[in-house]
Copies of this chain bind each other. A is one copy, B any other.
Amino acid sequence: MASAPGKVILFGEHAVVYGEPAIAAAIRRRVYVSVEEIATDRIEIESRNLKIRESMRLEKCTRGELEGVSAELKPLWHLCHKMLELHGHPLKHGLRVEIRSEIPESAGLGSSAALATALALALKEIFSVDMSPNDIWNIAFESEKIVHGRPSGIDNTLSLHGGVILYRKGSMKRIRLGQTIPLVVGDTGVSRSTGKMVARVRMLREKYPDVIEEVIRAIGRLSLLSVQALVDGDLEKLGDLMNINQGLLEALGVSSPEISMLVNAARKAGALGAKLTGAGGGGCIIALPAKNAINNVVESIKRVGRDAFLAEIEFEGARIESGGAHG
């Protein structure tokens, strides 16, 4: 069994499209993938969360004949195919892949990258083949492309390595924190469309370049300011910056009444700051609870009828779980 963490964007979503820096962090919510040999010539994949179970003959998967699989599991079938193609099939029998996730799907929390990363690691283990972290990254990224078209690679990096990253177009830099930071994630339950939101900002920027470029620059500056606050564990400052960032995202037109509702519920319950995370228009918010206010913040979001959970920043990336696939 292998696992890999999800992620949140802490600061800088949307501005990153225009070359500004953004900050993302792995969170202590994982996807678990167990792989075991079974006495057939087939591969079975079962997602407990999605309640989907599919199976395919090994040879068919090796040849990459993936017609007829569900859109949800297609990236995983593709990843299995790539592994078989690269490494042959070192096992005598079929495989059973079982997926269990602590990360809500399609919520901007990196569940698809975590899933691909955990599956790649689990397959590497059961195949007993040599793969560098970079090899794992690449094969998971290939699979991610099937879901997202043009992923940034951030999700994969955080799923694989954990921790916090400052990234811009074309560069990533690790930020080392002395301690974890508690975050509460609230889920609006409204599905988001990253593409639509990115297009909305682009249109607004074309219409009002003077104003919107200034807003985007302000977000970039705020992301840079957050680095020292993260290193220092200065929660007060991080909260302020989250609140400012949320306002600037409102100005970009990517917030929503549901997001406002959760952000306000979190702040009222003792969050030092709260903002949407990811593309907006739906999806999730993150809130930084004051000391001793974690439960209050979670409960306050639940009281307005939405799901919420604690998700501390996670320093450990993908890993083999004890009592894993070979156990």
Which residues of A are in contact with B by a Cβ distance under 8 Å? 204, 207-208, 210-212, 214-215, 217-218, 221-222, 225, 237, 240-241, 243-253, 255, 257, 260, 264, 267-268
Contacts and interface: CB of A to CB of B under 8 A. Distances in A.
Nearest to A257: B264
Residues of A contacting B: mostly: helix
Contacts of A250: 246-247, 250-251
Q: How many copies does the complex hold?
A: 2
Contacts of A260: 260, 264
Given A243-B251, A250-B251, A257-B264, 19 more contacts: A204-B244, A207-B240, A208-B225, A208-B241, A211-B221, A211-B222, A211-B225, A215-B218, A244-B253, A246-B250, A247-B247, A247-B249, A247-B251, A248-B251, A250-B250, A251-B251, A257-B267, A260-B260, A260-B264
Given A250-B250, A257-B268, A264-B257, A244 B214 contact: no
Contacts of A215: 214-215, 218, 244, 247-248
Contacts of A218: 211, 214-215, 218, 251
17 contacts: A204-B240, A208-B225, A211-B218, A211-B222, A214-B215, A215-B218, A218-B218, A218-B251, A243-B253, A245-B251, A246-B250, A246-B251, A248-B251, A250-B251, A251-B251, A257-B264, A260-B264
